[in-house]
Amino acid sequence: MGEYRENEKVFEEKFERLWSLLMTSAKIQVFTGAGVSTLSGIPDFRGKHGVYNSPWQGLPVETILSLDYFYEHPDVFYQWTEEVWYRLENYQPNIVHKTLALMEERGLLKDGVFTQNIDFLHQRAGSRKVYELHGSARHSLCTECNAFFDYEKIAPIVRRGEVPRCPSCGGLIKPDIVLYGECLPASVLRKAEIAFSQADLTLILGSSLTVYPAASLPRLTSYYGGKVVIVNADPTDQDGSAELIFRDLDQTFTAINEALRSIK
């Protein structure tokens, strides 16, 4: 966890600037990626130890998580997703999730959080406004009759090694997650475009900014004159437009949390 911690003096100087931005920005927007979830123990995708770095049973993970492959081999899809996507109760919200919920409670995040993550840890931490750009494992839909199923209904089936099917029509059940080959939800994408275009300050947290179109959203803040702060372990191709860059999410959000709680 301390691999990316910065020298305290350097960090404190940068944090003063960040705190000033947080206190003076009228409209703060947040964009979170897999790096936020790794603090809770959930493997990321493209980081140093990301699941995309090695095949699974000889298959690239991107292939397994494509829409076409899901329909052709739902058994393999659910075998891969079972270990993490259907054991999410084993993971707990971390300091980033908790601090963002506190920021919303204190009125700093009026438009909530836009996330690439599907693990619903933001909601469990107390965030009320969460917009899931890539969907969520919280619910699933029958691909035939569109019947709705919640996580608690589907997870035990998947953990038994079975492919979930609709009890009404027998149709294949799919998690409400955007797979490769699918478009992002249009309503959420449009809301995000407006929010990031209007932001005075955007916080990019734990995202490699390589998955489009979601990764293009923070660029709108810079384009329309707002400031961007990036907190991510590895460099991104948007670092050049950032006002501040931090590498350690835990260090940064522990400091934000402490500063917020010092204000009565």
Active-site annotation, residues: 134
Instruction: Note whether 36 and 205 are within 8 A (CB).
Output: yes
Start-end of H helices in the chain: 8-24, 34-38, 61-64, 67-72, 74-82, 95-105, 121-125, 151-159, 186-198, 217-223, 249-261
Paired tokens of 156: 């035990």
Spatial distance between the Cα atoms of 193 and 75, rounded to a whole number of angstroms: 36
Q: What are phi and psi of 122, to 5 degrees?
A: -60, -45
* C-alpha closest to that of 205 among 110, 77, 99: 99
Give the chain's end-to-end CA distance (angstroms, integer). 30
